[in-house]
Chain A
Amino acid sequence: MTATPLVSPDEVALSQKPAQEVNGRLRRVSRRAAHEPSTDRGIVSTADWRRTRVRFPLVTLHLILLIVLIIAGLLPILWLLKSALTSTQDTLTAPLAIFPHGITWDNVAQAFGVNIQIQNYFLNTIWVAVGEWVVQIVVATTGGFALSVLKPKYGRFISGLVLATLFLPAVVLLIPLYLTILHPLVIGGSLLNTFWAVWLPSGASAFNVVLVMRFFDGLPREIFEAAETDGAGPFRLFWSIVLPMSKPIIGVVTVFAVINAWKDYLWPMLVLPGGVNPASVQPLSVRLPNIVGQTELGPLIASLAISTLIPIILFLIFQRTFLSGGGFGGAVKG
């Protein structure tokens, strides 16, 4: 459950029709018939690019843009890393100086030390993300398979129920979901301070189900029919045929699931207040605000830096996947 202030690719993904239908003449730039000199162009034509009157201001603008992006995107992270290696005193008195008294690893040592034990909370964050991913994949693939491939008679009804929750603002669920966690209907005791409290509700994502359903809808029926005449039952069909073909959509669901798990704050804060052993269950997003009042600035900044390092490294490695969140149109079409 997230409430991002601005747009998330999730919602845009679903609101947009697949690329082909928006504009009947739409096609990818690279596949254009090249009967025109301007093949690879945007607003500015290749001819325009050659004219200095156009190129000069444009390149300047791009340079300015680059500088702005470096300042807004890169410098905060660099500052964070720098300050993690700077003593609290230096950060307080001269925050923009670069290592006025040299580098110190003390903050990092404290972050991993007995007082903060950032590594435990880091592992919890990973554990939360993994569990949420598993639950979401299981629910979306099995449910999507049933609704899109098996198509039972009541399937339409279930799909409708799922779709109805698609654009529901998360806020409506907050209180009753919390009560459900405190007093689950079927299971015995409270799920508070257990991973289940974050894993299970994450599976109720209509977005995932719809994504997977649409993907499955796009799979060629002939393969299914062939498998069926070969004697494959639905389980065989799911496990050996459909799932292997679903790698693209599983990839998309994975990216969204991991990102959402890492970013979530309000819900984990409510259901993982700590209990007897917070280090065994609280993720970073819950723990860090809790200890701000008891942690010196230096170790706190080091903890923040450590918390953000892995997401950034993962992003840099898997750039294509992250940034194609905007190009989801292609992924969904398959």
Chain B
Amino acid sequence: MKSRRKAAWLAVAGVAAASVALSGCSGSSGGKDANGKVEIVVASLQPGASAEALAAFQKQVKTFEKKNPDIDVKGEEYNWTGTTFAAELAGGTLPDEFGVPFTDSQTLAKNGQLADLTKYINKLPYAKKFNPNVISVAKDDKGHIYGIPFTPYAMAISYNRADFTKAGLDPNKPPTTWDEVETDAKAISKALPGVAGYMQMTSGNTGGWELTSATYSRGGRMESTASNGKVTVNTDNDQTKAALAYLHTLRWDDNAAGSNFLLDWDGINQAFGSGKVAMYMSGSDVITALVQNDKVDPKNYGVTVIPVDSTNSEAGVLSGGTVAVVNVKDTPEQQAAAVKWIDFYYGQPQVEQAPAVTQAKALQANNQIVGAPTLPIFDKATYDEQQSWIKPYATPGLLDNVAPFTSQILNENIVPEPNKHTQDLYGALDSVVQAVLTQKNPDVDALLKAVDVKIQALIDADPDQAAIK
């Protein structure tokens, strides 16, 4: 009787307590933490990044929090993957501030998934100084700004200097044409059995990204825009087919592509770092990540421009970059705080000496890269000035090793990535790249045509494209 009643109410109380406890497990509490500070979660580094890299990041977080005592910054591991990013954003599992590639920022802004930061960014001293081509990716068609671009890169060939030397090649004279790449790759694979002379990425949307880059370098394009604005997908072009045939030859005839063909961005970086790949197509600033994640020695690292077909005026170097953006679900205080962070972490070090030096010192102290080759966000003068500020702290030997790239890149034709359903296009092309590397006789024409059909359907279904007659 008594004990039964008591037990009954105890049970009910227990359930009630449990639900209260559970409700305390929700995510952010309106953006404010226990002390009333504005709390923002910002993208830090990749999962598994070295402790030193994380220490350098934390140092900068501390500096920022000291300058902004009303803001509490938490870093969260972040690894942008083309395949899952859109779902993560929609599902709400991303930090408050994070980076998106140039290819996606406008679409996301148009879909209403990014916070409109115009009024915060316009307050920044360098708001008007942006290179118009660069800032355009962060703007929608009404001119509202959704983020700040940083680390614009151009495609390049990263190579292992020691492997070059072992194969009897001069690491200071990397290949300048695709034929030379093939010759050098063959030499390396012969001299170093088990090492891939040259490889490219093939999965997680990176296969299509690099195939597009290879197409650009030969003078082709994946998407073309007619005068009325209609976009046509044409992956089934001569330059793409040539790029695929090149890989096929490298793999099956030259045996210079190694034996692992399912490589995404992480995978090929790791293969390069562990010495399995001697040369590969990469972003020009990948050395930063290679040191953060793959223990690469900067003294052994070389990078040069991707070979460009000088006989073709359309040939150019694919370029891209990342835009620091803010989640649209954030409160205004969080958005303002996030812009402050973006300004501190990405913006100021480009335009003011003191922040540039502070950041360079923090990186240097933790053996992180200073001086990775990027493209100018503003103009060349500003870029040169910024480089001069950080030169004293540049990673030893790096500036010489990247000279083949930095000395040549500004002579090249810089071409932005395709901008309609880019990630879908890249993803669809992954299979084609894998096919030439894993099948002796793939039907490349049919595969490319299938990609055209699939992506064209997606593009045609877009409201703005469908409106064009």
A and B touch in the complex (CB under 8 A): yes
What residues make up the interface of A, taking CB atoms closer than 8 Å to B?
Answer: 88, 92, 113-116, 182, 184, 186-194, 196, 233-236, 273-276, 278, 287, 290-297
Contact check, A233 vs B3: say whether CB atoms are below 8 A apart. Answer: yes
Q: Which residue of B has the minimal Cβ distance to A291?
A: B48
- In the bound assembly, the distance between CA atoms of A234 and B1 in angstroms comes to 10
Known: A233-B3, A275-B76. A293 touches B267 (CB 8 A): yes
Contact check, A115 vs B27: say whether CB atoms are below 8 A apart. Answer: no
Cβ–Cβ < 8 Å partners of B51 in chain A: 113-115
Contact check, B26 vs A190: say whether CB atoms are below 8 A apart. Answer: yes
Contact check, B23 vs A278: say whether CB atoms are below 8 A apart. Answer: no
Is B91 interfacial (CB 8 A cutoff)?
A: yes
Given A184-B22, A293-B267, 9 new contacts (CB under 8 A): A116-B48, A187-B22, A192-B93, A235-B4, A235-B7, A276-B75, A291-B48, A292-B266, A294-B48
Is B236 interfacial (CB 8 A cutoff)?
A: no
8 contacts between A and B (CB under 8 A): A92-B274, A189-B25, A191-B25, A193-B93, A233-B1, A235-B3, A235-B4, A235-B7
CB distance from B97 to the nearest CB of A (A): 13
Q: Which 4 A-B pairs have the closest CB atoms?
A: A189-B26, A293-B266, A294-B48, A291-B48
Which among B23, B27, B46, B51 has the highest number of chain A CB atoms within 10 Å? Answer: B27
- In the bound assembly, the distance between CA atoms of A234 and B11 in angstroms comes to 13
Is B36 interfacial (CB 8 A cutoff)?
A: no
Contact check, A236 vs B3: say whether CB atoms are below 8 A apart. Answer: yes
Contact check, A115 vs B48: say whether CB atoms are below 8 A apart. Answer: yes
Cβ–Cβ < 8 Å partners of B269 in chain A: 293
Contact check, A294 vs B47: say whether CB atoms are below 8 A apart. Answer: yes
- Interface residues of B, count at CB 8 A: 36
Q: Which residue of A has the minimal Cβ distance to B46?
A: A294
Partner of A294, one of B19, B75, B270: B270
- In the bound assembly, the distance between CA atoms of A191 and B26 in angstroms comes to 6
CB distance from B258 to the nearest CB of A (A): 13
- In the bound assembly, the distance between CA atoms of A296 and B1 in angstroms comes to 65
Which among A113, A187, A292, A297 has the highest number of chain B CB atoms within 10 Å? Answer: A187
> Interface code B28-66, partner A: CB below 8 Å = 1, 0 otherwise?
000000000000010000111111000000000000000
Known: A186-B19, A190-B26. A278 touches B274 (CB 8 A): no
Q: Which residue of B has the minimal Cβ distance to A298?
A: B274
Known: A194-B25, A233-B3, A293-B267. A274 touches B47 (CB 8 A): yes
Which among A115, A235, A293 has the highest number of chain B CB atoms within 10 Å? Answer: A293
CB distance from B371 to the nearest CB of A (A): 22
Is B294 interfacial (CB 8 A cutoff)?
A: yes
- In the bound assembly, the distance between CA atoms of A115 and B295 in angstroms comes to 12
Known: A192-B93, A296-B274. A115 touches B50 (CB 8 A): yes
Cβ–Cβ < 8 Å partners of B77 in chain A: 274, 278
Contact check, B27 vs A296: say whether CB atoms are below 8 A apart. Answer: no
- In the bound assembly, the distance between CA atoms of A287 and B77 in angstroms comes to 12
Q: Which residue of A has the minimal Cβ distance to B74?
A: A276
Is B235 interfacial (CB 8 A cutoff)?
A: no
Known: A293-B267, A294-B270. A182 touches B48 (CB 8 A): no
Contact check, A294 vs B26: say whether CB atoms are below 8 A apart. Answer: no
CB distance from A110 to the nearest CB of B (A): 10
Contact check, B47 vs A278: say whether CB atoms are below 8 A apart. Answer: yes
Contact check, A182 vs B293: say whether CB atoms are below 8 A apart. Answer: no
Known: A186-B19, A188-B23. A290 touches B295 (CB 8 A): no
- In the bound assembly, the distance between CA atoms of A32 and B15 in angstroms comes to 52
- In the bound assembly, the distance between CA atoms of A191 and B22 in angstroms comes to 8
Cβ–Cβ < 8 Å partners of B273 in chain A: 296
- In the bound assembly, the distance between CA atoms of A287 and B4 in angstroms comes to 46
- In the bound assembly, the distance between CA atoms of A235 and B76 in angstroms comes to 47
Cβ–Cβ < 8 Å partners of B88 in chain A: 273
Contact check, A274 vs B267: say whether CB atoms are below 8 A apart. Answer: no
Contact check, B48 vs A295: say whether CB atoms are below 8 A apart. Answer: yes
Contact check, B3 vs A88: say whether CB atoms are below 8 A apart. Answer: no
Is B92 interfacial (CB 8 A cutoff)?
A: yes
- In the bound assembly, the distance between CA atoms of A223 and B393 in angstroms comes to 82
- In the bound assembly, the distance between CA atoms of A291 and B25 in angstroms comes to 26
Cβ–Cβ < 8 Å partners of A190 in chain B: 26-27, 92
Contact check, A290 vs B47: say whether CB atoms are below 8 A apart. Answer: yes
Q: Which residue of B has the minimal Cβ distance to A197?
A: B25
Partner of A196, one of B22, B74, B264: B22
- In the bound assembly, the distance between CA atoms of A276 and B88 in angstroms comes to 15
Contact check, B92 vs A297: say whether CB atoms are below 8 A apart. Answer: no
> Interface code B236-252, partner A: CB below 8 Å = 1, 0 otherwise?
00000000000000000
CB distance from A275 to the nearest CB of B (A): 6
Contact check, B49 vs A294: say whether CB atoms are below 8 A apart. Answer: yes
Which among A115, A182, A184 has the highest number of chain B CB atoms within 10 Å? Answer: A115
Contact check, B19 vs A293: say whether CB atoms are below 8 A apart. Answer: no
Q: Which residue of A has the minimal Cβ distance to B41?
A: A276
Contact check, B266 vs A88: say whether CB atoms are below 8 A apart. Answer: no
Contacting residues of chain B (253-311) with chain A, CB-CB under 8 angstroms:
264, 266-267, 269-270, 273-274, 293-295
